[in-house]
Amino acid sequence: MSEPNRFLALFDQVVDQTIAELVDRAGYAAVPVDTPALFLGTRVDKIAIGALVRHLLLAEAHWFEQVREVSPGGVIPFPSNAAVLEGIPDGAPLLETYRRSYAERRSQLEAPTEADVTKEIVFAGRRYTVIGFLWTVLGHHSFHLGQIDLLMRQQGIEPPEYMEWPEDQRVLG
């Protein structure tokens, strides 16, 4: 299995688990303790489940698009596309938007050439190969999935165990 296919196989499972974890769940607006440390910048106001899902959706859509479009050595800007989610409520509509966006952007990563995955790019002042950056995106998603897990547990909702992926019939990665 190629490195990009390993990445996609595992990222698919993390996205599927994130969506499955939040289907028919309450508490999208729950915020643990209001402190300045909960501010995520201009893209997301506060760490809340709905805000975290929006953050993942926007960042991943932007990054997956950019890794294909940016020139070798080019800089990927920070996402600035939050307006596309205005008016989409938390819950099923947000999860369906995320599912659809992921499917569209995922297809941009299929069948890359060796030049595509070894191309060097810059994000947040750090240099990556595209495949290295994609693995970093997986880490980013998992980081925020942990925050969602904590918010759910603080509300008495027991989320599924991490890495009990929906896929159990094939080798992942």
0.95 exceeded by pTM: no
Residue 84 in this model has a pLDDT that exceeds 70:
yes
Rounded Cα distance, 19 and 99, in Å:
8
pLDDT the model gives residue 107: 87
pLDDT the model gives residue 35: 63
When pLDDT is averaged across residues 152-159 and rounded to a whole number, the result is 81
Segment 89-93 long-range contacts (CB within 8 Å, at least 24 positions apart)? 90/28, 90/29, 90/49, 90/50, 90/53, 91/28, 92/23
What is the DSSP track for 141-171?
HHHHHHHHHHHHHHTT--PPPTT--S--SS-
Q: Which three-class secondary structure state does DSSP give residue 2?
A: coil
Q: pLDDT for 39-63, tens place per residue? A: 555 544 567 888 889 989 999 999 9
CA-only gyration radius of the chain, Å: 16
When pLDDT is averaged across residues 126-152 and rounded to a whole number, the result is 92
pLDDT the model gives residue 119: 96
pLDDT the model gives residue 2: 85
Rounded Cα distance, 31 and 154, in Å:
9
Higher pLDDT, 101 or 42: 101
